A and B are shown apart, each in its own frame.
Chain A
Amino acid sequence: MNELIDKIVGIVGWEAIRTILGVVGVLIVVVFNALILTWAERKVSAHIQRRIGPKEVGPFGLLQPIADTIKLIAKELLTPQNVAKPLYFLAPVIVFIPVMVSFVVIPFDARLQVKDINVGILVILAFSSLSVLSILLAGWGSNNKFSLIGSVRSVAQNIAYEIPLLLALLSVVLMANSLSLKDIVEAQKGVWYIFLQPIAFLVFFIAGVAETNRTPFDLPEAESELVAGFHTEYSGMRFALFFLAEYTNIFIICAITTTFFLGGYQGPILPGFIWFFGKTYLLVFVILWFRWTFPRVRFDQLLNFSWKLLIPVSLLNLIITGGILKL
């Protein structure tokens, strides 16, 4: 057995094996996360409205997402007549790739990370801003007024909220003196950055909710106004890909918040990855909780909130952080 492993390693090298294992692991996490989140979203919404939610398929309705997936896979892929075909087909694929890449640099545990890149957070931010492109493609390619309005809104929103998101992270980066996510987690051995940078945490989390297009910032999808926003014309598995990307984005935002402000995988007694997933899913719950509490903001309020409040506050926070660190 060992000889066989040695032989394989000799042919392809450790790096390739590591990459393959990483991709498989990331795929598993992505799919499981999306399955759990669809279930959790329905359960949380039900209990906040004092209902039970899914309960028929499997214990506590836990197999409901699998039933949903089978339904989505079995559904006919409908292509409307006058869509811009290449863009229309490309959008669901493009929406999914950046989401996968972001997983590469997230440290799930002290030794559980696909690759520790020394500009880790830049990778995540660079790729997560790509998902705007796919939303724009979907909106434009669909040749549908609801899709286009939704995607235009999404672009304006994501550009506005990327800036406070970045500025908030920058003040943490200044304190940790590194862009590598692992170094940032290690720097929080004593005190979590949420206690040192509460304003940055707030700004980042709000901007993160906006970046994932969740209520109260769900204008790109705005069910009550735009049918379904940019994915109005998508059905079956193409729709499922958008859905998967949306839920994975939520996970990524919560994972970054955990890494930057809540000490990542650090915690007593229990193994690191349990702490990491525990903290992340706590934040996911908070985002679900937001959805069933806050009404949608108006578009001018949305942009004013970012440009007039979040950006100045996060800039000020950055300057003050820099000043204190220099002293």
Chain B
Amino acid sequence: MSAMTNPVAIVKGAVSLVIGLGVTIKAFFSPVITTQYPRAEINISPRFRGHTKLVGDKENPDRTLCIVCGMCEKNCPSGAIVKVEGEKKEGEKKKTATAYILDFTTCSQCGICVEVCPTDALAFSAEYNRAVYSREGCHFDLVKEYEKRKVH
């Protein structure tokens, strides 16, 4: 007997349909679980890899921990770190970064620069919704970004 003429199969099928309706109506009355993105944002995992950022010096918040050693620039497999420049300020032993340009178009967030940094001056930011108008817009100056963060 086929499924259409077997009474047992028909009753079983009908019961399964009712169970299915129960599942969806339960979901209908459950709270919404989506985040309304531009209005609200979810918390990003601490291990999320955005573009790299420079970490500030806790003792002297005016400068970052970067000592302009150039290790990251040398070790970057994609050559994404375009320029690391710095100067020696008076009364300080280490150099201070004045420009640190990351070409985000070629960066693959591999993390070698973060690992190799002797002063732990690099870290991954949690920024994930950055938009730019041109290829050049992806050349982030991390020092400038640090200054901006410092002000806030």
Pairwise interchain contact A308-B4, C-beta atoms closer than 8 A = yes
Taking a contact as CB atoms closer than 8 A, the residue among A44, A51, A293, A301 that contacts B34 in the complex is: A51
Count contacts between A and B, CB distance < 8 Å: 44
Query: Nearest residue in A to B14 (C-beta to C-beta)?
Result: A202
Contact A293-B32, Cβ < 8 Å, known A304-B4, A305-B4: no
Task: Tally A residues with Cβ within 8 Å of B.
Answer: 18
When distances are taken between beta carbons in the complex, the residues of chain A under 8 Å from B4 are 301, 304-305, 308-309
Map CB proximity to A onto B2-34 as digits: 1 under 8 Å, 0 otherwise. Answer: 101100001000000100110111011111111
Taking a contact as CB atoms closer than 8 A, the residue among B5, B20, B23 that contacts A309 in the complex is: B5
Contact A52-B28, Cβ < 8 Å, known A293-B21, A294-B17, A309-B4: no
Query: Nearest residue in A to B17 (C-beta to C-beta)?
Result: A294
When distances are taken between beta carbons in the complex, the residues of chain A under 8 Å from B129 are none
When distances are taken between beta carbons in the complex, the residues of chain B under 8 Å from A48 are 24, 27-28
When distances are taken between beta carbons in the complex, the residues of chain B under 8 Å from A308 are 2, 4-5
Query: Nearest residue in B to A304 (C-beta to C-beta)?
Result: B4
B31, chain A: closest CB distance, angstroms: 8
Pairwise interchain contact A293-B2, C-beta atoms closer than 8 A = no
Q: Whole-angstrom distance between the alpha carbons of A50 and B32 in the complex? A: 5
Pairwise interchain contact B36-A304, C-beta atoms closer than 8 A = no
Pairwise interchain contact A47-B5, C-beta atoms closer than 8 A = no
Q: A292: CB under 8 A from chain B?
A: yes
When distances are taken between beta carbons in the complex, the residues of chain B under 8 Å from A305 are 4
When distances are taken between beta carbons in the complex, the residues of chain B under 8 Å from A51 are 32, 34
Contact A289-B24, Cβ < 8 Å, known A304-B4, A305-B4, A308-B2: yes
Q: Whole-angstrom distance between the alpha carbons of A171 and B29 in the complex? A: 37
Contact A294-B20, Cβ < 8 Å, known A50-B33, A51-B32, A52-B36: yes
Pairwise interchain contact B20-A47, C-beta atoms closer than 8 A = no
Q: A224: CB under 8 A from chain B?
A: no
A70, chain B: closest CB distance, angstroms: 23
Query: Nearest residue in A to B34 (C-beta to C-beta)?
Result: A51
Q: A82: CB under 8 A from chain B?
A: no
Q: Whole-angstrom distance between the alpha carbons of A308 and B10 in the complex? A: 12
Map CB proximity to B onto A167-183 as digits: 1 under 8 Å, 0 otherwise. Answer: 00000000000000000
When distances are taken between beta carbons in the complex, the residues of chain A under 8 Å from B32 are 47, 50-52
Contact A292-B24, Cβ < 8 Å, known A308-B2, A308-B5, A309-B4: yes
Q: Whole-angstrom distance between the alpha carbons of A34 and B114 in the complex? A: 58
B121, chain A: closest CB distance, angstroms: 42
Q: With a 10 A CB-CB cut-off, give which of B10, B28, B32, B33 has the most chain A CB atoms.
A: B28
Q: What are 13 residue pairs bridging A and B, where the CB atoms are less than 8 Å apart in the complex?
A: A47-B32, A48-B24, A49-B27, A50-B27, A50-B30, A51-B32, A289-B21, A289-B28, A293-B24, A304-B2, A308-B2, A309-B4, A309-B10
Interface residues of A (CB under 8 A from B): 44, 47-52, 55, 289-290, 292-294, 301, 304-305, 308-309
Q: A47-B32, A48-B27, A50-B34 are in contact. List 8 more A-B contacts (CB 8 A).
A: A44-B28, A48-B28, A289-B25, A289-B28, A293-B23, A304-B4, A308-B2, A309-B4
10 A-B pairs closest in CB distance: A308-B4, A293-B24, A304-B4, A50-B33, A48-B28, A47-B28, A293-B20, A309-B4, A48-B24, A51-B34
